Amino acid sequence: MQIITEIIPDEIAELHVIGDIHIGDEAFTARAEKKLKEKIKRIEQNENARLFLNGDILNVSTRISKTTPFSKNTRIKSEEEDYAVELFKPVADKIIGVTDGNHEHRVIDFANYSLLNSFCQRLSTEKRKIVYCGVSCLLFLKVGRPPKHGTPIKWRDLPHRTGQTYSCYIQHTTGGGGTNGGKLNRTDKMRNIVRGCDCYFGNHNHLIGYLEPLALIPNIQRCTLTEVEQHVVDCGAYLDYPEYAERLMCEPARIGSPTTTFFSKEKAVEIINR
């Protein structure tokens, strides 16, 4: 697990968690790619938007995987990693971090080599070093506008003076279920790993959906209970309806990923399923 702090010195911030693109899969069609490029364009044009890539960016089909390399997307002419680098180059300075999915883990398990670690190194710039997070990330997102009087400010103090700090646990996750409820339940288990976060972002099951549970966290200093409004988010996929999904009697899923907005004037999170 990597711990990252990201500061957005404004009143509103957007976080886009994207995964399950499966570049190289036949189901990553021109229609799915168009949707993804529209999302990337939105992120590029919004100064306060940030992006986190949450696994299965690449398809990584092998002779021993469930997805065979002989069904590779012939529309994609370059190597999957090269294609991903070119795709996300316009927003390289907005990518906070990257986790591996189960598809990328095939190469890690076989050769102890991470394609997405290489991806991070290739896209990192002087302005932004993209953090390769491996399995998961605990992200502290600080949102707030600095004072107008121009007094020097320590950025670590910003959220305590003029904004909010949000905690987000991000992991590709595993498993799933044949129903939407089963998929959300699997993502909801992330709350047992790092307790008390504001947001939990998972992928893997290709569902766009979310839960809003309430947690009661003991406050040891004050000997009270603190209510935490939590948000458990399934972050969708950029795939058309693949043949194997139909064969397994899985229902079609929407193409896309949600947008999560964080506010500085009050502790509030807004999730839009697009």
Residue closest to 162 by CA, chosen among 149, 144, 148: 144
Here the tokens at position 171 are 């992991």
pTM for the full predicted model: 0.90
Residue closest to 99 by CA, chosen among 25, 199, 202: 202
Of residues 74 and 82, more confidently modeled? 82
Domain layout of the chain by residue ranges = 2-272
Q: Tens digits of per-residue pLDDT, 162-177?
A: 689 999 999 999 987 7
Q: Which of 128-132, 145-149, 181-185 has the lowest mean pLDDT?
A: 145-149
The residue type at 53: L
Query: What is the fold, at CATH topology level, of the domain defined by 2-272?
Result: Purple Acid Phosphatase; chain A, domain 2 (3.60.21)
- Mean pLDDT over 211-220 rounds to 92
